[in-house]
Structure 1
Amino acid sequence: MSKELPRVDLHIHSIFSDGESTVADIARMVKVKKLDMAGLADHYSSGPGGERGRMGSNRLKRYLSEVQAASLLKGVEVDIYEDGDLSLDPSEKPLFDYVIAGVHKMAGIAFWGDPTPIPDPKGFVENMRVVIIEAMESKVIDVIAHLTWLPEDIRGMASSLITEDWVDSVVRTAASLGVAIEINGSWTVPDEQVVKKCLKEGVKLSMGSDAHRASDVGNIKYPLTLLSRLGAGLDDLYLPRKLQG
C-alpha cells in the first residue's frame, strides 16, 4: 500500500493569459485547498504582444514578480507548433521553475471549441506524435501537457487513433530525455494504460488541474485517484523542487 500522495497542482492559469483570476486570488485558493505545492503556468508566446490568449514578453517581468511574491512556483505553458518549435525562446527557460508544453492547434484546427472536420485522422495524430517528440528533443521543456487530448471532430476516436505504438514512441522518448507527462484533472487525460506505461518506463508524472479560475485550483481528483490506484509513490511524481516539511 503506497503512502498518501501529496496534493500538487502545477498547471494553473491566471489573468496574465486566458484565466479569469488574479495571482492573489489563486494564491488564496491554494491555501484554502491545502495544496502541498502549486505553480502558475500561464500561456506564453515570446515577443512583446504575445498571441491571442497568450502572455507576451512585455508582461513577463510582472508575471514572474507577482507569482514569486505569492510564494507560488514560476511555471509557464508554451505551445508546440506544427514544426515542433516552441513559443518560448530557449534563452528564457532559466526564468522559470518549470516549462510545460502542449499541442493546442494543428493544421489550423484548435484542440478546444473547434468542430472543423479532419479528413485524415490517422495522419493528423501521427503528425501530433512527431511534433511532440521534436519538442521534447529541444531539451527546453520539462512536462508534456494533456497528452492524447484531440480536437473535437476526432476526440471520440481517441481509443483507436492513439495506438500502443504511438504511446510507446512518446513515452520512451520522454523516458530517454527526462521529460515528465502530465495527468490533467480538467480533461482527464491520459488514460490508465498510458500512465501504466509511464510508470513502467520510469517517466515522472506531473499533476495539474489546468484551472482557468480560482475555484478550479486543486482539481486533481483524477490524477490522485489514478496514481493511488496504480500504487504510485512520491518518487514517481514530477516535483520542480522538494516538498517542505
Structure 2
Amino acid sequence: MNRIRLAVVSGVNGSSAPEQYSKYAEIFFLRLVHYLNEFVKPDAVAVSGLSAAMKKTAEHLKMPLFLGNDVTVNGILLTSGIPGTAPEKGFVHLPSGPAFRPDASTVQRLKEKHCLCCVARAIPPDRDGGIHFFRPDDFCAEPFRFAVVTLDGDSGRFEVELEQFRLPPGLTDTHVHTPLAYCSENMSMRAVLEIAELEGLEKVAFTEHSGHLYCPIKEYWGGDQSHWFESFPDSGAFQVDRTDLYFHLFHGLDEARYFKGMELDADSRGNIVIKEGVRERLDLTLGAVHVLSKSLSPEKKVEQFFLQAKNLVTGGIDILAHPFRVFSWEGTGEKPETLFDPLVRLLKENNVAAEINFHHNRPDPFFTRKCIDAGVKIALGSDSHNLYEVGFFQPHLRFLREIGYDGDLADILFRKEGKK
C-alpha cells in the first residue's frame, strides 16, 4: 500500500500563542492526543514544538510519532532530510527548520528522490513536478488548527483536511463537573471558564451529580447495593448534604458565563435524587440513569430504565444525559432499541433535550437521528471530569455530520431560555 494519512501538528508551543493558550497548552495537547487516538486515527502523527511534559503525553499515541527521527509508515519514509537513495514508495519531507525554503536545486533533488510531499512553513515558487508543498498553521494560534494530509503515491492523490479546536459561535457545554465530583480528575471552575473562553464557548453549565452531594463516596459507589439507590427518600441515615458547599463554589465567578445546574440521579423506584428547595436555586437540570439493579433480568432492567427515565423527563429536567449509556459503557453492550421510539415521544412531549455525550459513551446514531427528525432538541455535553474535555465538541460535530445532519446547528441545538 503506497498510501498514508498523516496528521501534521505544527508549532504546539510557538511565539504566536495567546497568553491563555500558553497557560493551558498541555491541556490542549492532551485533548489532541485523545482525539487522534479515538476519532481521527491517522496512520502517523508529525508534531513540532513539544515541551518535555508534552513528549510524555505523546507516548500515549496509538500510532507512530515523527519528532525528527526517520519513521517509515506503510513503506513511506517520513524524514527531515533528503535520502541518498530514493525510497521505493517515496518519502515525506518534514524539515526541522521552521523557515526552510527550498531553492530550485533543492526542489530538483526532492523530485529525483521521489518526494511525495514537503511540509514547509515557506512554500517555494516551484510547485510542479509531482511534489505537493503544504504549509501548516501554528496549532498554538487561533483557531488552534492541525491538518490531516492524505497521500497516495500510486494515484498522486493529495488531500488536506483541516481540524480546529476553536468552536463555531453560539455553543454551550451543558454538562461540566466540578471539584466536588467523586470522579473529578483535575476540575477547577475558574479554569473551566478560561478554557471555554479560549475555545469560543458561549457558556458552560456546571452540573454536579446530585448523588455525590448527598452520599458519602463509599455509599455512592456501592451501585445497586447503595441505600440511596434502593430508596433515596428512606436513606436519610446514610446521607450527607453538600449542596451549600456546591453553591459556595460559584462565588466570585462571572454569572454571565455559566449556568448553575445539577445532574440528577434516580433511584431504583424512579425517585429523583434531590431535596426540597434545591431546584429553585438552579438554572438548569440534567437527568441521568447511572445504575440498574444487577439482579434483574435483561427485560426487567429495560423496564427499570424506562421508569427512571420517564420520571426524570416528566419531573422537570431540561436534558436527558447520555441516553442508554447505562447499557453500553464505552460502546460495549446492546442498547434496547425497542425503547427508542417511546423515549423520543416522551422527550418531545415534555420539551426535554437529548444529549450527545462521548464520555465513556458512544451515542446511538439511530436514536439521535430519530430525535432530530421528531424535533427533539439536541444538547452538546462534554461530561467533563478532566479539563481537556471542556468544550471538546469535535467528536460531537463529526457525529452529527456522520448521521447526515448538514443543516444549521441553531435549528436543532438546545438553548436554555428560562427555568421550567
TM, length-normalised to structure 1: 0.79
**Alignment equivalent of 2:392, drawn from 219, 227, 230:** 219
Alignment of 1:142-181 (within 5 A): 142-150=318-326, 156-158=332-334, 161-163=335-337, 165-181=338-354
**Alignment equivalent of 2:201, drawn from 35, 39, 46:** 35
SS, match of residue 83 in structure 1: coil
Q: Is the 8 A contact 2:380 2:396 kept in 1?
A: yes
- 1:189 to 1:68, Cα distance in 2 relative to 1, 3 A: farther
The letter for the 2-side match of 1:169 is P
SS, match of residue 134 in structure 1: helix
Structure 1 residue 187 and structure 2 residue 364: aligned? no
| Farther off after superposition, 58-67 or 210-219 | 58-67
SS, match of residue 105 in structure 1: coil
Task: Indicate the RMSD between aligned Cα atoms, in angstroms.
Answer: 2.9
Deviations 1:81-115 (A, max 9, x none): 211111123532232221001011121x5xxxxxx
The letter for the 2-side match of 1:80 is A
SS, match of residue 65 in structure 1: coil
Figure out how many residues of one structure are paired with residues of the other and give that number. 225
- 1:105 to 1:23, Cα distance in 2 relative to 1, 3 A: same
Name the larger-Rg structure.
2
The letter for the 2-side match of 1:94 is E
Partner residue in 2 for 1:15: 179
Q: C-alpha displacement at 1:30, in angstroms? A: 1.0
Q: C-alpha displacement at 1:66, in angstroms? A: 5.1
Partner residue in 1 for 2:279: 93
Q: Is the 8 A contact 1:44 1:55 kept in 2?
A: no
Alignment partners' CA distance in 2, 1:123 and 1:67: 45
The letter for the 2-side match of 1:176 is E
Alignment partners' CA distance in 2, 1:217 and 1:55: 27
Q: C-alpha displacement at 1:46, in angstroms? A: 9.2
- 1:68 to 1:101, Cα distance in 2 relative to 1, 3 A: farther
Structure 1 residue 230 and structure 2 residue 405: aligned? yes
SS, match of residue 157 in structure 1: coil
The letter for the 2-side match of 1:230 is Y
- 1:84 to 1:92, Cα distance in 2 relative to 1, 3 A: same
Q: C-alpha displacement at 1:70, in angstroms? A: 7.8
Alignment partners' CA distance in 1, 2:326 and 2:313: 19
Structure 1 residue 77 and structure 2 residue 263: aligned? yes
The letter for the 1-side match of 2:387 is A
Alignment partners' CA distance in 2, 1:170 and 1:134: 12
- 1:46 to 1:218, Cα distance in 2 relative to 1, 3 A: closer
Where does the alignment leave 5 or more consecutive residues of structure 2 unmatched?
Answer: 1-167, 221-239
Q: Is the 8 A contact 2:169 2:202 kept in 1?
A: no
Q: Is the 8 A contact 1:5 1:234 kept in 2?
A: no
Q: Is the 8 A contact 1:46 1:57 kept in 2?
A: no
Q: C-alpha displacement at 1:13, in angstroms? A: 0.8
Q: C-alpha displacement at 1:5, in angstroms? A: 7.0
Alignment partners' CA distance in 1, 2:210 and 2:241: 5
Q: C-alpha displacement at 1:179, in angstroms? A: 0.9
Q: Is the 8 A contact 1:17 1:55 kept in 2?
A: no
SS, match of residue 91 in structure 1: coil
| Farther off after superposition, 182-191 or 193-202 | 182-191
Partner residue in 2 for 1:203: 376
Q: C-alpha displacement at 1:238, in angstroms? A: 0.8
Partner residue in 1 for 2:311: 134
Q: Is the 8 A contact 1:174 1:180 kept in 2?
A: yes
Deviations 1:208-241 (A, max 9, x none): 1111021211122222223344135313111114
Identity between Structure 1 and Structure 2 (%)? 20
Alignment partners' CA distance in 2, 1:62 and 1:147: 30
Alignment partners' CA distance in 2, 1:227 and 1:153: 20
Alignment partners' CA distance in 2, 1:150 and 1:217: 22
Partner residue in 2 for 1:112: none
Alignment partners' CA distance in 2, 1:180 and 1:29: 25
Q: C-alpha displacement at 1:63, in angstroms? A: 3.0
- 1:51 to 1:231, Cα distance in 2 relative to 1, 3 A: farther
**Higher helix content, 1 or 2:** 1
Q: C-alpha displacement at 1:50, in angstroms? A: 3.9
Alignment partners' CA distance in 1, 2:241 and 2:177: 11
The letter for the 2-side match of 1:22 is S
TM, length-normalised to structure 2: 0.48
- 1:131 to 1:235, Cα distance in 2 relative to 1, 3 A: same
Q: Is the 8 A contact 1:39 1:74 kept in 2?
A: yes
Structure 1 residue 62 and structure 2 residue 248: aligned? yes
The letter for the 1-side match of 2:173 is D
Deviations 1:114-150 (A, max 9, x none): xxxx6622321232122201221222x1111110113
